[in-house]
Amino acid sequence: MNKFNGVLAPVITPFTEDLLPDEGRLIAHCQWLISQGVSLAVFGTNSEANSLSTEEKLVLLDGLVNHGIDPALMMPGTGGCALSDTVRLTAHAVALGCGGTLMLPPFYYKDVPDDGLFAFYSEVIQRVAEESLRIYLYNIPPVSQIPISLGLIERLVTAYPDTIVGIKDSSGEWSNTAALNELAIDDFRVFCGSESFLLQNMQFGGAGCISATANVNPSPIKDLYDNWQSEDAGQRQARLNEIRQIFQSLPMIPALKTATSIYSGDSKWLRVRPPLLPLTTDQQASLQDQLESVGFKMPGL
Amino acid sequence: MNKFNGVLAPVITPFTEDLLPDEGRLIAHCQWLISQGVSLAVFGTNSEANSLSTEEKLVLLDGLVNHGIDPALMMPGTGGCALSDTVRLTAHAVALGCGGTLMLPPFYYKDVPDDGLFAFYSEVIQRVAEESLRIYLYNIPPVSQIPISLGLIERLVTAYPDTIVGIKDSSGEWSNTAALNELAIDDFRVFCGSESFLLQNMQFGGAGCISATANVNPSPIKDLYDNWQSEDAGQRQARLNEIRQIFQSLPMIPALKTATSIYSGDSKWLRVRPPLLPLTTDQQASLQDQLESVGFKMPGL
C-alpha cells in the first residue's frame, strides 16, 4: 500500500430532506474532487462524520466503492469513542482496499493517560490484524480535546512501524507541525490540517495537507503542493490564505456547504445535521459577496 | 410513566477477557443495586457507555430486560454524537418500557449554539415519536465540554413539556444545581451528579442524585435520601463525603471496579476498556487500605 501525499479533502457529507446521508450527491462530489487532483479523507471532522453512525459510514463506504471511487484514493476517518466501532469500521475500510485510515483518539473521556491511548490504538491494530492497515493519526485537540503527544507517536511507531505511517495535525499550532516533521521517524507523513501551513509544511519535509477548504478550492491548493519550490509559491500561498480566511470567518462546515450549493446551483447542499446549523440567509449572502469580491470560483463544477 | 426520584447508579460495565460486555456480571450487579434500593442509570459516563457501540448497548438492554430487570427502574443513557444512534437507542429504550432516558448532548463538535442543541433534541423527540418518552438531560460539561444552559432547558421544556422532565447536573458547581432547582418549571426533576450535594439538593427541592459511588455505597446514599429531614442528616452526609473522597482521590471508574472486585472477590471486575486503564497494583492496595481504615464495606455483596 503506497503512503499518501499531496492534498486530501475531508469530504463534506450531503443530506437528504430527511437528514439521511445522500449517497448520490456524495459520489458526485467525490468524483469532482478527484478530477481536481485531490484525494478523499471521507468521514473527517468537516464531513460531519461524528454526526453519523458507524452503520451509516459502512453503507456509504460500500456505496462509494461500488460506484467506482478508487479506494486507494480514500483515507476514511475510522476513529471513534468505542473500541468496537473503531475496529469494525477500520477492518471494513481495509477489506475494501482503502489507502489508509485517519484515526481520531477516543474523545469522550478526558485527561486519559498516554498509556490508555496507546492501549486503544494497540487493541485496534491487533484486532484488525491486517498487514495492509495504514493508520494516519488525527491530532485535533481544539475539537477532540485529546492531544496526541510526540511521545505517544514515537511509542506507537516503535511498536507498529509498518502501520502507523503518518499524522494529520489540526492543532492549529505551527510549532507542533514543525516538531512532527522533526521526529526521527523514517518516511513519517505529516499533513497539516489547513492549507495556511502548506508551504511551510512542505519546506519542513511534510507530505501535504488535509484541509476543509480543499472541498471548495481543491486545484489551487494542489497547485501549491505541486509547485511549492517555484518562485511564485509565496504568492500562491497568499492567495490560498485570502480564500481560507473568508471561510474561516463563518462556521466552517455550513460555509463549505453553502459555497458548494451556490456554485453548483444545488440548494440541497445547504443541509447539515444537528447540532450544526445552516448559515443564516445573511451569512449566505455575506459569504457569496466576499467570495465574489476576490474573484473566487469553484472550477469545473 | 412515573418520573424518577431517589438514587440511581450509573451502573459500571464488566468486561470479559476479550473486552466484550459481560452480560451475566452486569445483570448480577444490577440485581444487587436494586436490592440496595437504588435505580439503574445504565450507560452513563461511569458505565464506560461511550466506549460501547450502539449495537452493544441495544444487546445489553435486551439482555437486562429479558433477565428480569424491571425496565421501569432503568434510565439508560441514550445520547450520542450521531442523531441516528441517539434515535435508535432511545426508541429501543422506550419500546422496552424504560422509565426514562438520560440524554447527553452531541459532544464532538464544540462551541455549537443552543439553537443547534435544541434542534438535536427536537429531532430526537420527533423521530422517536412516543408519548411515553421521558428525557432527563445530562449536563456534564467537564467531560462533554457541551454545557446545557438554563435558557436551552426552558426552551425545551416549553416545546416538550411532557417529555423533558428532568436533568442530571454533573457540572460540579453547586450554584448551577441550585439554579436548576429554581427554574419555574412544574415538577422538574433535578438530580445532582454526586452525593456530595445530595442533602443540599434535597433542601432546594431536588429529586435525588445519580452518582458514580452509588455503585459501591448504594444503601447509605439511599438512606440519606430517605432521611434528609432527619436530625442526623448532616452526619450521614459527612459519612458519605468521607467515602466519596477516597474514590475521588483515584481515577473514578477503575476505582469503582476495583472496590467491586475486592468486596465480591471477583477480580474479573478489574477490567476496563481503553482508553481507560485499570488501577495499578499500588493504587488498588491504597484504595483497599483507605476503605478499610474508615470501616467501609459493600453491604450484602
Calculate mean pLDDT across residues B51-57.
98
pLDDT digit string, tens, across residues A194-222: 999 999 999 999 999 999 999 999 999 99
* In-domain check, residue B106: yes
DSSP strands (E only) in B178-253: 189-192, 208-210
> What percentage of residues in chain A have a pLDDT greater than 70?
100
pLDDT digit string, tens, across residues A10-41: 999 999 999 999 999 999 999 999 999 999 99
* In-domain check, residue A215: yes
Residue reference for cell 519542513: A204
Beta bridge mates, A168: A138, A191
Q: Which helix (H) or strand (E) element contains residue A132? A: none
Calculate mean pLDDT across residues A188-195.
98
State yes or no: pLDDT of A247 exceeds 70: yes
CA-closest candidate to residue A184, choices A207, A154, A164: A154
Report how many domains make up chain B.
Answer: 1
Calculate mean pLDDT across residues B240-265.
97
Which CATH number characterizes residue A71's domain? Answer: 3.20.20.70
The answer to whether the Cβ–Cβ distance between B82 and A53 falls below 8 Å is yes
Asked if A130 reaches chain B (Cβ–Cβ under 8 Å), the answer is no
Residue A67 CA neighbour count, 13 Å, CB half: 15
- Give the chain A residue whose CA is nearest to the CA of B274: A120
* In-domain check, residue B272: no
Contact A46, A212 (CB under 8 A): yes
The answer to whether the Cβ–Cβ distance between B53 and A274 falls below 8 Å is no
Contact B58, B19 (CB under 8 A): no
At A146 the pLDDT is 98
pLDDT digit string, tens, across residues B217-239: 999 999 999 999 999 999 999 99
pLDDT digit string, tens, across residues A67-93: 999 999 999 999 999 999 999 999 999
Q: Which domain holds residue A101?
A: 6-228
* In-domain check, residue B301: no
At A264 the pLDDT is 94
* In-domain check, residue A268: no
Q: How many residues does chain A have?
A: 301
Calculate mean pLDDT across residues B102-123.
98
* In-domain check, residue A12: yes
User: CA–CA separation, B2 vs B165, rounded Å?
Assistant: 10
Burial classification of residue B158, based on how many CB atoms lie within 10 Å of its CB (0-12 exposed, 13-18 middle, 19 or more buried): exposed
**Chain A neighbors of B81, CB-CB under 8 A:** 50-51, 81
Instruction: State which amino acid sits at residue A217.
Output: N
B-proximal residues of A, 62-81, CB under 8 Å: 81
Three-state DSSP class for residue B8: strand
> What percentage of residues in chain A have a pLDDT greater than 90?
98
At A301 the pLDDT is 66
Asked if A18 reaches chain B (Cβ–Cβ under 8 Å), the answer is no
At A1 the pLDDT is 72
The answer to whether the Cβ–Cβ distance between A112 and B83 falls below 8 Å is no
Q: Return mean pLDDT, chain A.
A: 97
* In-domain check, residue A267: no
Residue A191 CA neighbour count, 13 Å, CB half: 29
- Which among A51, A83, A276 is the nearest to B274, CB-wise? A83
State yes or no: pLDDT of B173 exceeds 70: yes
Calculate mean pLDDT across residues B23-46.
98
User: CA–CA separation, B48 vs B31, rounded Å?
Assistant: 19
Q: Return mean pLDDT, chain B.
A: 97
Q: How big is chain B by its Cα radius of gyration, in Å?
A: 18
Residue A282: which residues within 8 A CB-CB, separation 6 or more? none
pLDDT digit string, tens, across residues A88-121: 999 999 999 999 999 999 999 999 999 999 999 9
* In-domain check, residue B251: no
Size of interface A-B (CB pairs under 8 A): 118
At B1 the pLDDT is 72
Q: What is the DSSP letter of B193?
A: S
